[in-house]
């Protein structure tokens, strides 16, 4: 069948990587586990040790191949977060603290209303940020350097940013063509003093034949 995107993507995710969840439907109903991966384009997550499935792996230099057991993704509608105080499954609502921070809160009839903290694993990036500047990066010193003074007009972008040798050659070439075309139009206007021959309206290319036909009628 191939990959298919989710029909309606969820904008505000309530289940995050590292959360404790309970499976509410399916073969693993009632079991709990930790979310290890989030697949946002499919509205699914991977829960550690749950929804196991068999997968065939081809033989390669690093792997002998065969059938392995993997954790298949689970749709969000089949999962529920756990109340941090009672440990029971609960609904989740977004609220704002007095400081203006957006938090998740356990909601529902039997929920405690406690704030569900963000998992500590989210504080660590999977791909660390680069510590050294690359060849295309701009250093903070260069970004904060003052290169233009609007009071005196000194500084600004160098001339090579706006034009280069190739641009000047192309511009001169096009200006030559424009002057030559204007000269040709002027000379054509002087030479073309004779009146143009009008074509007959009846489709004939010869005006004399058209006139004789009109006289014959």
For residue 69, the domain's CATH number is 2.30.30.30
Is residue 98 included in any domain, yes or no?
A: yes
Alpha helices in 2-111 (DSSP H): none
> Do both 65 and 113 map to the same domain?
no
**167 pLDDT exceeds 60?**
no
Question: Is the separation of the CB atoms in 59 and 32 below 8 Å?
Answer: no
Please report the pLDDT score of residue 62 as a whole number.
81
> Do both 21 and 50 map to the same domain?
yes
Nearest to 31 by CA among 50, 10, 44, 14: 50
DSSP reduced 3-state for 54 = strand
> Do both 14 and 51 map to the same domain?
yes
Is residue 64 included in any domain, yes or no?
A: yes
Question: Is the separation of the CB atoms in 113 and 143 below 8 Å?
Answer: no
Is residue 26 included in any domain, yes or no?
A: yes
Measured CA to CA, the distance from residue 2 to residue 45 in angstroms comes to: 18
Is residue 114 included in any domain, yes or no?
A: yes
> Do both 18 and 62 map to the same domain?
yes
Is residue 130 included in any domain, yes or no?
A: no
Measured CA to CA, the distance from residue 37 to residue 73 in angstroms comes to: 9
Please report the pLDDT score of residue 216 as a whole number.
58
Look at the chain and report how many structural domains it folds into: 3
Question: Is the separation of the CB atoms in 154 and 148 below 8 Å?
Answer: yes
> Do both 104 and 68 map to the same domain?
no
Express each pLDDT in 157-166 by its tens digit.
555 555 555 5
Higher-confidence residue: 173 or 57?
A: 57
* Pairing label, strands 74-75, 66-71: unpaired
Please report the pLDDT score of residue 139 as a whole number.
84
pTM as predicted: 0.56
Q: Per the structure block, which two tokens stand in for 61?
A: 């230099």
> Do both 55 and 26 map to the same domain?
yes
> Do both 55 and 105 map to the same domain?
no
83 burial (CB, 10 Å; 0-12 / 13-18 / 19+) is buried
Higher-confidence residue: 106 or 181?
A: 106
Measured CA to CA, the distance from residue 33 to residue 50 in angstroms comes to: 7
Express each pLDDT in 75-116 by its tens digit.
999 999 999 999 999 999 999 999 999 999 999 888 999 999
Q: How high does pLDDT run on average in the chain?
A: 80
Is residue 105 included in any domain, yes or no?
A: yes
Please report the pLDDT score of residue 201 as a whole number.
52
Please report the pLDDT score of residue 35 as a whole number.
96
Residue 27, domain extent? 8-82
**Furthest C-alpha separation in the chain:** 112
> Do both 50 and 15 map to the same domain?
yes
Measured CA to CA, the distance from residue 2 to residue 119 in angstroms comes to: 33
């Amino acid at each position: 069948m191939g990959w298919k995107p989710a029909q309606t993507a969820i904008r505000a995710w309530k289940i995050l990587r590292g959360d404790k969840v309970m499976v509410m439907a399916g073969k693993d109903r009632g079991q709990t586990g930790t979310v290890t991966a989030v697949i946002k384009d499919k509205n699914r997550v991977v829960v550690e040790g749950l929804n196991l499935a068999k997968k065939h792996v081809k033989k390669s230099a690093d792997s002998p191949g065969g059938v392995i057991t993997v954790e298949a993704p689970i749709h969000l509608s089949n999962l529920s977060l756990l109340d941090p105080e009672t440990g029971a499954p609960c609904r989740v609502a977004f609220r704002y603290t007095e400081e203006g921070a957006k938090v998740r809160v356990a909601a529902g009839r039997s929920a405690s209303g406690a704030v569900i903290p963000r998992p500590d694993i989210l504080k660590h990036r999977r791909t660390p940020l680069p510590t050294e500047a690359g060849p295309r990066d701009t250093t903070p010193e260069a970004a904060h350097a003052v290169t233009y003074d609007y009071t005196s007009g000194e500084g600004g972008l160098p001339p090579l940013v706006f034009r280069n040798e190739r641009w000047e050659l192309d511009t001169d070439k096009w200006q030559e063509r424009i002057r030559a075309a204007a000269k040709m139009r002027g000379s054509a206007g002087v030479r073309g003093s004779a009146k143009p021959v009008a074509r007959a309206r009846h489709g004939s290319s010869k005006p004399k034949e058209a006139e004789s036909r009109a006289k014959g009628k």
